[in-house]
Chains A and B, each alone.
Chain A
Amino acid sequence: MRHHRKIRIEGTDLPGIVNKCIRNGILLKDLRYKDQLESTVEVKDDDYRRLKKIAGHSYRMTTISEGGTIPFLNKIKSNIPTIIGAFLLGALIFYQGLFIAEIRVDGYRSITEAEIRQTLADAGLEEGVRKPGNYDNIKAALYENHRKITWVSIYEDGRSIRVNIAEAGKAEEAKEKDMTPAHIVASRSGIIEKITPLQGNARAQKGDYVNKGDILISGRYKYQSTDYSKGDGFFYMYSHAEGKVLAKVPRQVTFYMQKAQPSEKLTGRSIPGLYIRIGDMQIDTAKIMNRYKVSVRRETVLIDLVRPLPLKISFVEVRETEAKKRRISPEKRKAVTEAAIRQYKREEMTRGEEIVSYDIAFSETENLIIADVFMEVLEDIGEERKIDMKNEEKSEKDR
């Protein structure tokens, strides 16, 4: 690390200068003979000055290179712009490493990737945002929003985030066949649309109106014995009835909506601006200048980068609006009610249930519109009911 020089010695008598060095205690290193007039050698900086003095004018000495701490610092001093550039580059690379460039999701089956990404984005994990470091709340959001997820792993891989999930399998346990004598009865009143007995005798047919509790598929068989000793009387055999009974069931649902709905009208005044986001820093000139009470914001993205650094530049226009209330039109109220029916179907009805037809009746109060919807829903109304064999036989005898 000490300051040393590699020098070229030019002269006719190389042994002469070497002997002078021996006499003066000058340390020579890496002495290389090139030809009769030229050699190279490495000496300490202090020794170099002494060597020049003792060599006099008989030899010519040229420094080829210098080494050690002082020359290194001098080199740095003369290259400050380069050093600053390298530092800034390093800082940029480090800074961009703090942001997420890519999210990879693996392991999903029934849940779509878009749904998982939406949940991640809602929890604050998306491309271009700063790496959170702790992913516990994101995992919790995934577990909460997707009940099928049984395991989540989130880890950083450079600038990428890997999200691995595992969903619950469809490991349905083999259902043990129930042999208890039972009927299939109506769980609610309705008109039979389709009856499919897998075991037992159908007691109703398409178009029949059945009340709640009526036997639809019977688990009881009547037979005469071929054993003459038992006589000509009728006997009963019981089984576990099975089958599917689809019936049209009436349902009534009421929806409410406001008579007048708020609407916004542009006044024609607007404020243009620029939105710039670099990493975590963001400037929105339109937001700063905005003095309107009610306004809408329109954004046109000019640049939106994730690599090498999250950068977004948009042209923004804030338009002033006036809030108004507008009376809902008949077409609109019908459309809103139909949307509510679709939502009801999605949220309230189970798989297999279907709306066959519906009728809407509107009525009004001071502020509200009431939509009474009468629906015919096609659904499986069959449910098992155990057979009380003693009571059944007794009632049969009483007849």
Chain B
Amino acid sequence: MSVKDELLFDFAVNMPRVLVSGRTTVLDNVKKVMLLTDTEITVFNGQRFTSLKGSGFVITQLKDERMLVAGKVEEIRFFETS
């Protein structure tokens, strides 16, 4: 990845950024929570939306636009309003 791409990636504060590792998911740039259940979480990132589908979701921490989610993830979807 070029330096320009890296800078764009780091400073894209209104875009979805998701890190998934085992049963832990990190959602960055969380501006607003749209939907919150134990099977589905949808958040607004500023320009787009991120949606997690799965089971047994627990938000272990929510601070400074970063959401840590524990639970089994089956599907991640990104979408935007037309």
Contacts and interface: CB of A to CB of B under 8 A. Distances in A.
Contacts of B35: 15
Give the contact-size bracket for chain B: 10 to 19
A368 B59 CA distance: 106
Contacts of B32: 15, 19, 22
Contacts of B61: 27-29
12 contacts: A15-B35, A18-B33, A25-B64, A27-B61, A27-B63, A29-B60, A29-B61, A29-B62, A30-B60, A31-B36, A31-B58, A33-B57
A31 B34 contact: no
Identify the interface centre among A15, A21, A29: most chain B CB within 10 Å of its CB.
A15
Nearest to A15: B33
Given A15-B33, A27-B63, A31-B36, 20 more contacts: A15-B34, A18-B33, A19-B32, A22-B30, A22-B31, A22-B65, A27-B62, A28-B59, A28-B61, A29-B62, A30-B58, A30-B59, A30-B60, A31-B58, A31-B59, A31-B62, A32-B59, A33-B36, A33-B37, A33-B57
A19 B33 contact: yes
Contacts of A355: none
Nearest to B57: A33
Interface string B26-63: 00001111111110000000000000000001111111
Interface string A24-54: 0101111111000000000000000000000
Contacts of A21: 62
Interface of A: 14-15, 18-19, 21-22, 25, 27-33
B33 to A, nearest CB: 4
Interface of B: 30-38, 57-65
A370 to B, nearest CB: 105
Given A33-B36, A33-B37, A33-B38, A18 B62 contact: yes
A235 to B, nearest CB: 114
Contact of B36 (A15, A25, A27, A30): A15
Given A19-B33, A22-B33, A33-B57, A28 B38 contact: no
B30 to A, nearest CB: 7
Contacts of B65: 22
A100 to B, nearest CB: 55
B33 A32 contact: no
Nearest to A41: B59
B22 to A, nearest CB: 18
A1 B57 CA distance: 26
Instruction: Give the interface centre of B31, B34, B63 by most chain A CB atoms within 10 Å.
Output: B63
A27 B66 CA distance: 10
Contacts of A32: 38, 58-59
A396 to B, nearest CB: 117
Contacts of A15: 32-36
A18 B65 CA distance: 12
Contacts of B59: 28, 30-32
Given A22-B30, A33-B57, A28 B63 contact: yes
Contacts of A30: 58-60
Contacts of A22: 30-33, 62, 65
A28 B57 CA distance: 15
A27 B34 CA distance: 18
Nearest to B69: A31
Contacts of B60: 29-31
A133 B65 CA distance: 65
Contacts of B30: 22
B62 A14 contact: no
Contacts of B64: 25
Contacts of B58: 30-32
B16 to A, nearest CB: 16
Nearest to B38: A33
A21 B61 CA distance: 12
B28 to A, nearest CB: 13
Nearest to B35: A15
A25 B30 CA distance: 12
Nearest to B59: A31
Nearest to A33: B38
A9 to B, nearest CB: 11
Nearest to A36: B37
